[in-house]
Each structure stands twice: as structure tokens, then as C-alpha cells.
Chain A
Amino acid sequence: MNGWCGRLLTVDLTSGRIAVEALAPELLQTYLGGRGLGVRLLRDSHQLDPFSAALPLIFAVGPLCGTPAPTSARLAVVSRSPLTGTIYDCSAGGRFAWRLKAAGFDALRISGQSRTPVALAITPQGGELLPADRLWGLPVAETVQALSDRGSVAAIGPAGENRVLFANIMMGEGNAVGRGGLGAVMGAKQLKAVVVAGDRRVEVLDRPRFDQARRDIMRLFRASPVIFGDLGIAEYGTPALVDLMAQRRMAPTENFRKTLFARSGQYSGPAIRRAYQPKKDGCYGCPIQCKKSTQDGVPLPEYETISHFGALNGIDDLRSIVNSNTLCNQLGMDTISAAATLAAWGELRGEFLRAEQIAPLLHDIALRRGDGERLAQGSARLAAELGRPQLSMSVKGLELPAYDPRGAYGMALAYCTSNRGGCHLRAYPISHEILRKPVATDRFSLAGKARMIKIAEDSNATIDSLVACKFSFLGASLEEYGELLSATTGIEYGPQLLNEIGERIYLTERFYNWRNGFTAADDRLPERFFTEAGSAGEGIEVPPLDRRRFAEELARYYRIRGLTADGGFADPHYLEHQP
């Protein structure tokens, strides 16, 4: 079997039992790896409470990890989110994924709950639990440093230990398993860190075919202005989007009350370049290197982080924003949800925070002290508790990222249909509605968007299962990645088959959510977007969304997906028909 190891490492933290299990080739070939494999491995436990000891936390790599496939040294972490209650996965890059594969594992399944803090050390021979009492309470960097002689590290910070509902798992190089609070799931298990070492090589079955596909992909990257253009993400990182979103008048500002922040130029891509002279950085093995860091190696914020700690909170102080990013990384917290929760709190209080108030509050959230106790629950619970639930700008409890849905109607629809809540990456319609890839679509129209969102959700489920970075697909497509996969494994995977795999993964997630009580009522945008206009100007109108038309397109989406009108499943035995 090429591309996969056929091995799963299972760890029961309650009993301390660690075992190596075989993974059936058919299962791997059908679900690929990463998100797909993780979702499949959750089949028997998807109804467990997110903080239940028995709920597994799954780390899964993909068949391309360990090969020179561009942007593929990644993994997915899958479990159930304590923030949203949905099935949850998040993809992250870094050496950890590569080393897990090099240790000979496709996946790691951790369940149970340790009585005392532990770290899990993995080698090709298996795993070992190490006492981690002395690491408990430490920020992420110190934890990583303490374990780095044993390999690559994934760790939680104080936020995860204290079950902050949007706590991250942080990879050693600064990559985050973010958004849905899987760091809190890890913290509830008293697992401070996982460290992995391995040196096995991943063999590619048909090297000439693989090399040809790789060359094709690199050529497409070079032909993509968003990737390797003068103003692209390889040069400026994702903050290249700051000026573009301002120009398109869809930068969420002051908790989405406006869609333009007049001072966003203070923290744009060029402003960061002037202030920090950043160096190129990025995920292990990635040719794009879209991450930027200071000359001292401190990671600089991504677009969503910078815009939400900036415009969303009405702050233009770049140093403060960079500091907020660094603090979240060290405390192990999601930057989008943290910033959006603070913005919601600002509107709830009637006064947005000043730059100097942010850092102390981030500490309080991570340590659950003072106002931080409330804020640690995320904006939906916070706003509900304070009697104004409509001021949480979230879907299914997940705070919306920095693309205002009134400025991109496909994005609006995709926030609702996302299986993990208000996320831009499930269908990533920004790709065509704003960045014009693979082709431009009318951002102020819903026509045809239901089908487009469905197809993109399927494709992205596949991409998260390969596991590759979505930015690759601003240049390349599943056609080229299918070639890489076919060349690696010797099994033919074209885009159609890959999309069918993605569809199965997506529907499985949707089914899990449905079984956990989610219906069409949860596929709902905050009321503000249907009643308040955005910031018009320079010939661009940003009207509220048309409620009737939006509902019509959502209903069309359900029909295209084969779901019931209530967003559910006509066949309650759906899973039994799946491999």
C-alpha cells in the first residue's frame, strides 16, 4: 500500500493503554485521510458530549503527507466542538504532521481522561505517556521548548487547560488547530501535549507521473496572481486582503455594524511590511510561504486576525494587534473567536474596547478570571446571557470571520450551510466572489450559488482529507492533485471521484449534526444582515440581504444536497449505507 501506512495509534488516557491497530486499506482509500478519516473514525462516538472522557480526539494525516506534494505536510484534528456542539475538524500545517506520518501512522485516536496532566510521546514503535505536571500552566512556546528534544510538538496553552470554548491546539511552529475549541477537548483529557518523532520515508509509486503533476501545479501557482503575484500572499501574506476587503467594502467593522474601517491602512499588508520588514515563513514543505514573521521569528497575524482585532473592534494600532495575536498563540486561543467575542462585548456594553484593554482581557479569558469567565464561552453564550443574543455575529455559535456576508452572497449562504458553523473555509466562496478563481462570480447575486457552494463544500472536504492547503486551489485544482494522489498510491483518483468522496464526508458530518439535533433552524445568519445595510460608497451599495431570496436559495441547497426541507435526512439509516 503506497501513500498510507495502514496503522492507527489508539491511546486511552483513562487506563493508560496504548495500542497500534491496523486500518483497512478500503477505509483509507474511501476516506483518504485527514478530515475524512477522522470523521469516519468518529462514527460510533459522534453523539458523545464534547467534554465526555470517552469522546475521541483524532489527529489524522493524508496520503500525500511525507511526499513532495506542494502544501501537503498537514493534518486534520477531528472531534466534537464544545463551542458549537457540531462535529469539528481543523487542518493545520507544520512538521508535526510530517513526523506523525514518518512514525508510520495515518491517525492517532486519543480517548479517556488522565487523572493528572500528561504528554504523549510517539515513536514508530508506539506511544508513551509522560508526566506533565510541570508543564501544566505553561504557555505554548515554553511547552514546545520543553519537549522539543523528543520531536515535533502539538500543545495546548492555559486556555485549553481551562476549557476556554475556543481554545486551540498549537503546533510547534506556530500553526493553529483553531476555531472550534479542540484545545479545550484536549485540556479536558488532561493532555498537555503530543510529541512525535519518526524518520520513515513515504514512497511514491510512479515518480515520473508525480513529478509531472508537481510541475503542473507549480506552473499554476506561478500563473496565479493571488499566490505568486506582485501583490499576492507569497509577498504580503494573507494581510494582502486588508486593502482588497476595504476596497470591496466588506471588512466587518465594529461588530459588523459597518463594512468599512477608514483606518485599515494602518495595518494593511504594506503597512506591516514597513513596520516589521517581515521575513517569509510558512508551513513545512510549502513553496508558497504565505506566513510572515518578524526578524526575530515571531509570527505576524493573518488577515482574519488582523481585521478582527482591528476593524471589528475599531482599533488601528498595529503593535496592539500584533501583540494580541502573539498572546492568543501563547495562551492557545483562537484569534477570530477571541476578537469577535470582544467586539460583541463592546457592542453589548455600548463601548468598544481601547487597544490597551485588550491584552489584560485575553489573559483573563485564558485563565477564566473576572470578565474573562464570561468571555471564555464565546460570543453566542455571552450575548444570550446578557439578554441580547442577536449581537453575537455567529452561526451555530461559531463567530464569523472577516468577510461581511452582505458583500458576498455566496459567502453568506456558505456560513449557514457549513457543518462546523460560521466558517469561511468550508466552501471558501471568497475564492470566486472576490479573488476571481477559478472564475469570477457576481458577489451581489445568489443565482446559482446553492450548487456552487455544494460543489465547493465537497471539493474542500476532499482537500481537507488529502490533506492540502486551500490556498493551493487559488491556482491548481483537484485535477492536478488527483494526479499526485494517483501517482503516489497507484489508484486512479480523478476530480469526479474525489468530489464524490468529499460529498460522502460532508453528508456524514451533516448526518452527525442532524442526529445531535441540528436542523435548518441552525443554518441561520444573525438578524443584522437582513435588516441593516453595510457601508456604501465609491459606487458600491451594500444593502441588507434579501430575506426571501436568501431563504429560497437555502431551500434550493437542501434540494441539491438531497436533504429534507428542514435540512435533515429522509433516511435515518444513512450511515448504514456508507462504507
Chain B
Amino acid sequence: MIGQLGRYFAKLVADGCADAERSAIFAQDDEILGRGCDALRPLGQAVLQRLNTVSLVVAAPPLPLLEVLLGRLPAAATEITPLDTETRTFLHDIPLVRRCEFSVARPQRLVELLGRRKGILVEGVGIMATGSFTVELAYINYSSVYHALFIKVLLDLLLHAAPTEKELELLRPLWAQLSTAIPESVERLPPPAPDRQALLRAIDAAGRRTVELKLVDSFFGNISCRSGRHLYISQTGASLDDLAGCIDLVADDNSSTAGLTASSELIAHRAIYQQTDAATILHGHPKFSVLLSLLCDESDCPVEDCWKDCRRVRSLAGTPVVAGEVGAGGIARQVPPVIAASGTALVYGHGVFAIGREDFVAPLLAMIRLENYCRRDYLKRLQARLPAAARLLPVRAEGSP
């Protein structure tokens, strides 16, 4: 248990979604254990011991996203509705707790809400998320709430009130980060060779690189490679950066059901292979690609639930944007017909599918380039909302808007 706590605490920090100095992770077996900031221990223990769950993350994002959000929400707001489809599918609404509603001696409100939802936003703390079964699950839920918060705040800056000077200052580290492109470091990815072990190594390496480049939220995404009348595909819930033993072999003719544990996007992967000449597929959730996929200039549109009901094919920098639900929902119908031409497809509020004809270099490169474009475009759009004198970046650097 201690090992798991150390591992996921390190991942939270390495992912860039938690500040090591203001974060902690706890788990209860027959006693409560914790890793991280000691000052959070009393609160973590007070909450976790009242819950029928295994683990709890109490952490502050490195960026003051929650502070920005709170400044934009009505004082009476008690929850936010995630805009990205992954979080919306698995987490629903995310409750919001104000500073005055709890203390270490009075954690009931936190317990009540965490007894109802997997993650909550807590003023003065950041994000609290539980794991009903494992330490990993608390990490996943935390990461999902962080992803939802990130998308929500940054989209709000584009679509609603223009950012104030204070908000720009609070998020300044982000603007600097976005002005630097994600490196196109794909040159040493091994090609999928005919033998099984080499092929598994190629998938493993591509998955790991995708996570290292932060083209996912937590470690989610999926990856596959065609091999004769079979495909190798990552298992459902597998960490893209730890795929050893987590890749299923699925026969085209369904002669075996041993691939029952394959990714929920198996249906989409199969349909893509059937309708294109793809040899590899990579699917990730790069933040700014997800964010810009949510922008739509359609007016008077009768569709209300765009993320699942929209049937338009929009375009973002030459990449088709379609809508569709996860798994046996619409992605398997909407993505395959549009992905061949550009090699990529962006799913509304969800993520990017990219295909390769030979190896994982092309899809990974395509995903990096799309995300870099979206980062630059986001800055450009945000800059356009500011008064002429206000600059997001003090010095124009290469790749900045």
C-alpha cells in the first residue's frame, strides 16, 4: 500500500496536475496511511476514516485554476458540469465546497459530498477525489476532475467574460508554457516488427511516449496495431505508459473472446481498420485539442447535446471534428469515415484519433502537431479578447501568437 501511495503521488506531481508542496494521498487498509504534505494529513484522515472507500487524494493544482473558476462563478454555485465527454460520462457533475463549509473538526460536508460523487472542488484546498477500490482509482478520479477543471476554466476565458488582469497574472505560468511547442521527439520509436515481442515493444514504447508528452489526461487513451488477421490493442483502463501484460490480441473473425478486456474503443479501432489502410492507431486526450473541439460557430442549431448528437463534420486545421459517445456509442460510426484523408480525427470534447500506415511515428507526430497548433491557436484567440495594451506574453517567442 505504501508503495502504491508513493507511486501515485509521484505520478500526480509528474503529470503536472498537483503541486507537491500542497498535495497528499491517503489510503486505508486496516489503518490509514499517507504520502505527501503533512499539513493535509489531519483533513485527509478526518475525511477518509468516515468514508467506505480505499483511498483519497487531497491536492492543489499547480495553477490556481480553482481560484479563477470561483471568481467567475455566482456566489451561490454549488457544482460545475464538466464539458469534456470523458469526465461527463464517468463523473457527472462536480460539487463545489466553500471554505466556510468545512474544517478538520467539521468535515461532514466534505464527507457527504464525497459520499455522493467521486471528486469535488474545495475552496482553499483544491481537489479531493476518492478511490473506491484502489489507490490508482483516486489518482484517476483526481486527474479527471483536474482535466475537467482545466477545460472548463480555459474555455470560459474564451467564451464568456474576457480575462481580467488578475486572472491573466494568476495563469501567467501557463501562457509561458504554451508558448513553447511540445517537442516532436518521435525519432526513436521502434517500428512494429512481424514478431510478437517486437510488436508489443513498439506498442509499449509509443504508449509511453504519448504519456511523457502529456497528450493524455492521467494515463488514459488507447493504442492498437494491425497484424495479419488480428489486431493488438491496449486493454480497457490500461496505463498507456505501462502496457506490459496489458495488450490483448483480437481476431478479426471473433474466433476467440479472450479479448473481452480490450479497450472500450475496440469497436472504433476495428471500424477504422476496415475502412482505411491504417496499420496503427493512437488515441489520446491532448488538452488543447479537446478544448478547441468544443468551439462551434453554428448559430440557431437545434442540437442540444452536441457531444453525442451533432452530426456535422467540422474542421480544425484540416482535422475533421466529429461527435460521438465512448465505446459502443457514436465514435465507431463517426470517426472511421473521416479519418483517412488527414490521418487524424478529433472527437468533440473527447480526444484525437490518429492513424499510421507503417508505424507509430506518423500518428504520434500528427497528434503532437495538432496539439501544438491548438495551443498556439488558443493563445491567439485569447489574445484577441484582450485590450491592445495587454499581452499574454511579455516577449514574442517563436511559436507564440
Contact = CB atoms under 8 A, between A and B. Distances in A.
B257 A434 contact: no
Nearest to B253: A270
A448 B33 CA distance: 12
B261 A496 contact: no
A298 interface: no
Nearest to A269: B257
Contacts of A479: 92, 116-118
A439 B136 contact: yes
A224 interface: yes
Contacts of B111: 496
Interface in A365-387: none
Interface string A478-501: 011010000000000011110110
A253 B327 CA distance: 34
A348 to B, nearest CB: 33
A224 B327 contact: yes
Contacts of A530: none
B297 to A, nearest CB: 27
B372 interface: no
B264 A270 contact: no
B29 A268 contact: no
Contact of A452 (B112, B134, B325, B328): B134
A431 to B, nearest CB: 9
Nearest to B237: A436
Contact of B258 (A244, A438, A482): A244
Given A231-B254, A432-B133, A225 B116 contact: no
Given A229-B266, A455-B53, A435 B261 contact: yes
Interface in B97-124: 111-112, 114-118
B30 A225 contact: no
Given A223-B329, A229-B328, A236-B257, A439 B137 contact: yes
Residues of A contacting B: mostly:
helix
Nearest to A239: B257
B30 A223 contact: no
A471 interface: no
B262 A229 contact: yes
Contacts of A411: none
A306 to B, nearest CB: 13
A228 B185 CA distance: 37
A404 B277 CA distance: 42
Contacts of B256: 243, 265, 268, 270
A329 interface: no
A496 B120 CA distance: 15
Contact of A455 (B133, B270, B328): B133
Contacts of A262: none
Interface in A456-489: 456, 458, 477, 479-480, 482
B382 to A, nearest CB: 32
B163 interface: no
A559 interface: yes
Contact of B325 (A222, A243, A497, A556): A222
A559 to B, nearest CB: 5
B52 A243 contact: no
B259 interface: yes
A560 B30 CA distance: 5
B134 A231 contact: no
Contacts of B112: 494, 496
A1 interface: no
B226 to A, nearest CB: 16
A223 B264 contact: yes
Contact of A438 (B51, B132, B326): B132
Contacts of B257: 231, 236, 239-244, 268-270
Interface residues of B, number: 53
Query: Which of B133, B136, B262, B266 has most chain A Cβ within 10 Å?
Result: B133
A435 B134 contact: no
B28 interface: yes
B50 to A, nearest CB: 8
Given A228-B328, A244-B261, A479-B117, A450 B30 contact: yes
Contacts of B28: 451
B235 interface: yes
Given A225-B262, A230-B254, A231-B250, A500 B52 contact: yes
Residues of B contacting A: mostly:
loop
B197 to A, nearest CB: 11
A226 interface: yes
Interface string A196-231: 000000000000000000001001101111101111
Interface string B14-54: 00000000000001111000000000000000000001111
A560 B52 CA distance: 11
A247 B118 CA distance: 33
A448 B1 contact: yes
A461 to B, nearest CB: 12
A482 B255 CA distance: 39
Given A231-B260, A448-B54, A479-B92, A222 B327 contact: yes
Contacts of B135: 448
B92 A216 contact: yes
Contact of B329 (A216, A219, A236, A560): A219
B134 A229 contact: no
A246 interface: yes
B260 A225 contact: yes
A439 B237 contact: yes
Contacts of B263: 225
Contacts of B115: 494-497
Contacts of A230: 250, 254, 266-267, 270
Query: Which of A225, A232, A447, A455 has most chain B Cβ within 10 Å?
Result: A225
Given A223-B326, A228-B327, A246-B258, A496 B137 contact: no
B236 interface: yes
A88 B138 CA distance: 34
B327 A455 contact: no
B57 interface: no
A550 to B, nearest CB: 16
A173 interface: no
Contacts of A482: 116
Contacts of B238: 436, 440
A245 to B, nearest CB: 9
B29 A450 contact: yes
Contacts of B328: 222-223, 228-229
Contacts of A455: 52-54, 132-133
A30 interface: no
A68 to B, nearest CB: 19
Contacts of B274: none
Given A455-B54, A494-B116, A240 B260 contact: yes
Given A436-B235, A439-B140, A479-B118, 14 more contacts: A216-B92, A219-B89, A220-B89, A231-B259, A241-B260, A243-B256, A270-B257, A435-B260, A439-B137, A440-B237, A448-B134, A455-B54, A560-B29, A560-B30
Interface of A: 216, 219-220, 222-226, 228-232, 236, 239-244, 246-247, 265, 268-270, 432, 434-441, 447-448, 450-452, 455-456, 458, 477, 479-480, 482, 494-497, 499-500, 503, 556, 559-560
Q: Would you list the 3 A-B pairs with minimal beta carbon distance, nearest first?
A: A496-B115, A494-B116, A223-B327
7 contacts: A268-B256, A270-B254, A436-B238, A439-B137, A439-B140, A451-B30, A455-B54
